[in-house]
Copies of this chain bind each other. A is one copy, B any other.
Amino acid sequence: MTVWDRPEPPIRPVPLDRERIVAAAVALADEGGLTAVSVRKVAARLDAGPMRLYGFISTKDELFDLMVDAVYAEILTEERPGDWREALHGLAHRTRQAALRHHWLADLLGGRPALGPNGLAVTEATLAALDGLADVDTVMRAVETVSAYFTGAIRREVADLRAERDTGLSKTEWQRARGPHVTRTLATGRFPALAKAVYEGTHVDAETSFTTGLDWVLDAVAARLN
């Protein structure tokens, strides 16, 4: 009974779980954006047939949900914040950093309720940091308001980054970054206030812009908590 007589054992299909699937999907999205994530491509990366994935998810949107929740794991932090302000500040900045690592997150942020374990854990941690500082409703409103701010801000920032990237390697200057179109439009004189803002405004980098707005909002929250 030589080796050649015995048949090779059948190639068992690659074992799969949601974690591996989501990791593959995230990798694809990081490389080529959300549009690069297709069921076929994710499956191919795992040496599996496309339909295999539908044992773990029942729709592509669910895959996106899993991806978002995976990123919430990055946003989650062990160390407990010193106070509520630090908690909200940290949450905002960690979310922003996550979005800068995973641009596609900007497309998904706020698009669906984050009900995954990590998403809920983040919400829990945030609410816990504000617990007792005001009645539940006020706390709720505070978290919602801050979250709304930074999702909106992150979305715009990533949108601008993409626009810059797409219009070639145009640097941070607004005027030429947006290509000739804005410049020409402004030259018409129909948008004086906008022109003034563009030409007289000093360019601030995205991070300070983000932080400035965030601090304003946090001040507003502070006024209601105390």
Contact = CB atoms under 8 A, between A and B. Distances in A.
A136 B178 contact: no
Q: Copy number in this complex?
A: 2
Majority DSSP secondary structure for residues of A touching B: helix
A46 interface: no
Nearest to A224: B216
A202 interface: yes
Contacts of A127: 193-194, 196-197
A83 interface: no
Contacts of A163: 112-113
A158 to B, nearest CB: 9
B110 A155 contact: yes
B155 A151 contact: yes
A85 to B, nearest CB: 14
Interface in A123-149: 123-124, 127-128, 131, 136-137, 139-141, 144-145, 147-149
27 contacts: A107-B111, A109-B155, A111-B155, A111-B159, A112-B162, A112-B163, A113-B163, A115-B181, A121-B191, A123-B191, A124-B193, A127-B197, A128-B193, A136-B200, A137-B204, A139-B197, A141-B213, A145-B212, A145-B217, A148-B151, A149-B217, A151-B156, A152-B153, A152-B155, A155-B155, A219-B220, A219-B223
Interface of A: 107, 109-113, 115, 117, 120-121, 123-124, 127-128, 131, 136-137, 139-141, 144-145, 147-153, 155-156, 159-160, 162-163, 178, 181-182, 185, 190-194, 196-197, 200-202, 204, 209, 212-213, 216-217, 219-221, 223-224
